[in-house]
Structure 1
């Protein structure tokens, strides 16, 4: 029963067919059997304590749709009583005193927080490896990367250690691990899911929390729990619940296929064909698709992105970099990112934001013609887990540690909602790949409806990892 989604588990619990303690016992058994091979869940709490909390949930009134359902929180967010290492030796063992907003909302809906999910150091780099817990491995081939930075969450879902999970996304950190683990990940419209009211809350609009799941319905239910403006922060968005809006099919939806951005983005062999085949199958569901030329200059987008990203990272990690002792514990790519950000002038940041504004206007024109824009979720298949980051794609050298994930920035730069849906399996190792479905701001429910239609027709997550996972 543990392979079922969270809403299906809720229905069984409400029908008296299983209890929270039944589910917790099976969850802990699955974690014990699977997690040593993939290293997705870290800082697991004491099993006896978790079983006691599950029995207490069975005896208590229902507090929400997650009542009694186990969840583990990405190790960038604070959950009271659990460590928040962020994958860094600087914070290893540091125990959170309180919940972040998102975690508090999950608890209020009844979730039992069992531990954390693994992530790269400070969430930098789309490969979940760090010096505190080591690498998270892809369950479809444990010699390969699980992606990141929500890699632990993606693997925990793929192996049914969790039924739903939280993630976060600046540069594909929800979309890449969803694609590489054959599950769903959603970057919501920026502002729909609030961050913490700390530091600057006006200028940095690149990263957001969001849901991950094995079904779009679970994705919608979890988004509805996470969402809602925080009055202490500007730019917050309140929207109607998405779960009631995901039925009805996708007939008449129009998708613009951006492929490899007019040849500008290097792709490993097989990725474009697999995603094009998925779009052709969507056409049988009533969707129309059209291939598009590159709508904006690739180099201008990239320069805008790395300027604004380095500026944001320097704002977050600059205080650690300023301390020579702490700086020695930062990984090289974090130091590079911070030092780029510190060297920027105000006018360089301004020019990068002007480019972003021009891209927003161009994208708005595209959305007059199309409901959805589509791109692959990554430019390469899952790579060797022992690498820190891939130096090339199909023989093309990568000039930064994150250039290989350039395909995700069109949505990230504008704060657009994007769902990664499973597109199938391929490449030399027959591994999963995803397809990004990107909508205009506020179209989260529409994207979830398209994803649900796709899931009803394909149910790719039913293709389980190899035996033992």
Structure 2
């Protein structure tokens, strides 16, 4: 029975809960046994709060019996360790907060809990924003398809918890690719939503549109279900607004073949690993065979990473300046480089980055007006050894920093448009490969319909795997 519950999709499990065929406590216990079995191999959920989850589950079961309906109905899930869960250790994967226990759940988590989410534990993450899920507090998370390799980051623990069946849903966040890269590396789906869709934690910069909170899941319908539990208005996040749209789950349950879209393997400027190029080419051919008008190309992004580095440096320095210089030794070298860039770059560089970002937004929206969707890889490299912070080179092009290999996702964070990460296949070695699909602002429903159609057409496996 435990294995049967773990293999259920989130929507399947939610519907069983609503019918009374299973309880939230049943699911928590099934997850606890699965976590105990596979966690030593992957380290996806290093902080657990199972007693708290049991209490939440019991309350959800009582409420359901009394006729109270919620979106998730008591479904167990994981929260990334840079968001607060009340009464639970919240390290952010940094030595700065290694002993911190959150007093209350933050805005993002509180909304999920009000909508029936039961928190099993905190998922592992990169140390202060890298793209390899490893840190000096909680250790390294491993790819369940090959535990010698990375799962990407920074929401790597979330993706692995899903891929291994430790949780039915997983929360994450995305600044430069943190929801999309781990999804691609672990054969799951992730959504970077339009800023303002999901309320952000109090500590987030209220004026920032690069960092967003978002859902991860094993299927598109499950992803939409979780997104429905995350969206909403919160006066503490000025980007949010009241919603008047149908549930996103409705869109995910109505797959739609697109009439047209654009595909680009490298955006014209980036190195991309050969297996990813081959998989994208096969995918584009399949789209064309299905009657989709496929355009090859992308907006001009030739100077995008210069602008991204300037914006990231300014944002990082603004956020972490109160800890400097007294606690400089607690920051990883790569993050220190971002902080120092933010501190030292001239105002003209930051002004130019903002100007470029505005132009990129206009070019991209013009491009989407014509082609509606843009499909490109969700990672430039295949999963690499966990001992390595980033690949030294991709197809012979040397990497100069940890940002080089995530450029293909970081670039698309700048226009603040929604992007969904979807699996499209596996390499000859059996490693997952995924794409990201970009659309106009607030067009998440269209992305769900397209992604659901792709999922149905490809028929890739979506059940949990055993990393052992």
TM-score of the superposed pair, with normalisation by structure 2 = 0.94
| TM-superposed deviation, 1:335 | 1.1
Map 1:47-58; keep pairs closer than 5 Å: 47-48=50-51, 50-58=53-61
Partner of 2:72 in structure 1? 66
**What does 1:315-464 correspond to in 2, within 5 Å?**
315-323=318-326, 326-426=327-427, 429-462=429-462, 464=464
Match of 2:96 in 1: 90
TM-aligned CA deviation for residue 137 of structure 1? 0.2
1:277 offset after TM fit, Å? 1.3
1:49 & 1:261 partners in 2: Cα distance? Answer: 46
Map of 2:261 onto structure 1: 255
1:56-99 per-residue CA deviation (whole Å, 9 max, x = no partner) reads 43233345132222122100101111111011122112000111
CA contact (8 A) 1:321 1:335 kept: no
1:169 corresponding residue in structure 2: 174
- The aligned residue for residue 195 of structure 2 is 190
Does structure 2 conserve the Cα–Cα contact (< 8 Å) formed by 1:183 and 1:461? Answer: no
Moved more, 240-249 or 437-446: 240-249
Give the match for residue 112 of structure 1: 118
**8 Å Cα contact 2:18/2:73 also seen in 1:** no
Shift of 1:26: 0.9
Q: 1:205 aligns with which of 186, 192, 209?
A: 209
Report deviation, 1:369: 1.1
Distance 2:192 2:71 in 1: 22
CA contact (8 A) 1:425 1:432 kept: yes
Q: Does 1:305 align with 2:308?
A: yes
- Residues in 1 aligned to 2:46 and 2:232: alpha-carbon distance in whole angstroms: 28
SS at structure 2 position matched to 1:177: helix
Within 1, Cα distance between the matches of 2:91 and 2:259?
Answer: 43
**Cα separation, 1, equivalents of 2:73 and 2:301:** 48
What is the CA distance between 1:336 and its match in structure 2? 0.9
Contact 2:393 2:399 in 1 (8 A): yes
**What whole-Å deviation, never above 9, does each CA across 1:311-337 have from its counterpart, x for those lacking one?**
1111111221232xx111111111111
Aligned length: 459
Q: After superposing the two structures, state which structure 1 stretch, 305-314 or 271-280, moved more.
A: 271-280
Which runs of 5 or more structure 1 residues have no equivalent in the other structure?
Answer: none
Kindly indicate whether residue 150 of structure 2 is the aligned counterpart of residue 150 of structure 1: no
Distance in 1 of aligned mates of 2:163 and 2:41: 13
RMSD: 1.8
Matched residue, 2:272: 267
Consecutive unaligned residues of structure 2, counting only runs of 5 or more, are none
State the TM-score, normalized to the length of structure 1.
0.93
Taking the aligned partners of 1:463 and 1:15, their CA distance within structure 2 comes to 23
Match in the other structure for 1:137: 142
**C-alpha separation between the residues in 2 aligned to 1:368 and 1:14?**
41
Deviation larger for 395-404 or 417-426? 395-404
Counterparts of 1:191 and 1:65, CA distance in 2: 20
* Contact 1:76-1:84 within 8 A present in 2 as well: yes
Structure 2 CA distance for partners of 1:179 and 1:160, relative to 1, 3 Å: same
- Please state how far the C-alpha of 1:396 moved relative to its aligned partner: 1.4
